[in-house]
Amino acid sequence: MKIIISFLATAFLAAMTFAQEETVSPAESTAPTSEEKASATVEETPASKPAEAAKPAAEKKAEPAASPKAAATAAEKKEAAAASTTAKAAPTAAAMNTKGMSVKDMENAWEAAVASHNSATIEGMIAGDFVGVSSKNKFIGRSDELAEFKGDKDTYKSAKNEKLNVKNFGPNVTVVTGRAREKGTGKDGKPFDRTFLFTDTWMLRGGQWQCVASHITKIKG
């Protein structure tokens, strides 16, 4: 009887041990699955980082593509600003309205136009059939007088008539003799002080005086 009880006790203990091993083995069997999932998670994380790193690169690549257009716009604005500044610094000289002016006033306006290089004022004073002799001892017409005036590159400090003699020959003809003095710097950078004697003949045409003949002689400078 004792033998039977001992055998049953041994069998019961064996059964309990077997049951514990079966209980532990499922837990152990799930461990690799968790490790695999953890491993998969670790492998997926680095893969996402290159994608994120590539995004700033794409943005940086897009910036240079837009920069030429922005640079062109900036250059256009700069050119427009430069053009506007030049226009303000060097306005186009307007022709003086000489209608109603006396011959003496027109002579003074002519000499002032020499200093400012205002050819528009001179054009309004010279008759289409003008003839004359220049300070360079050449016979000239209207086009020659204007070409010589426009080709003058000197810089003037002053240009004025020092003496004028006005004599009328009837209501429509006036002759002016005078002396003009001009000071400044030539295109070669050298200073000059020039004096001219001149004789101008004016005619009243259509209510406005026009210079029809002139003779100029340089006596100094």
The domain limits of the chain are 1-91, 103-220
Is the full-model pTM beyond 0.75?
A: no
Q: Determine the straight-line distance between the first and last CA of the chain, rounded to whole angstroms.
A: 160
pLDDT reported for residue 81: 54
- The reported pLDDT for the residue numbered 77 is 60
Residue 15: predicted pLDDT: 53
- pLDDT averages per 10-residue partition of the chain, 221 residues: 50 53 43 40 42 44 48 56 42 68 95 95 96 96 95 95 96 97 95 97 95 97 80
**Contact 179/200 with Cβ under 8 angstroms?**
no
**Helices vs strands, H then E, count in the chain:** 4, 6
Q: If you search the block for the tokens 């000239």, which residue do you land on? A: 140
CA distance 49 to 177: 96
**pLDDT (0 to 100) of residue 88:** 41
pLDDT at 6: 52
The answer to whether residues 179 and 161 touch, using CB atoms and an 8 Å cutoff, is yes
- What's residue 93's pLDDT? 61
Class of domain 103-220 (CATH, top level): alpha beta
Ranges assigned E (strand) in 17-168? 126-133, 139-141, 155-168
pLDDT of residue 1: 46
pLDDT at residue number 100:
82
Q: Rounded distance, CA 148 to CA 160, Å? A: 19
124 near 210, Cβ under 8 Å?
no
Supply the pLDDT for residue 176.
Answer: 98
Contact 114, 92 (CB under 8 A): no
Measuring CA to CA, which residue among 190, 55, 191, 213 is closest to residue 128?
Answer: 213
Calpha distance 184→131 (Å, rounded): 28
Q: Identify the residue whose tokens are 């019961």.
A: 12
Q: How far apart are CA 119 and CA 61, in angstroms?
A: 57
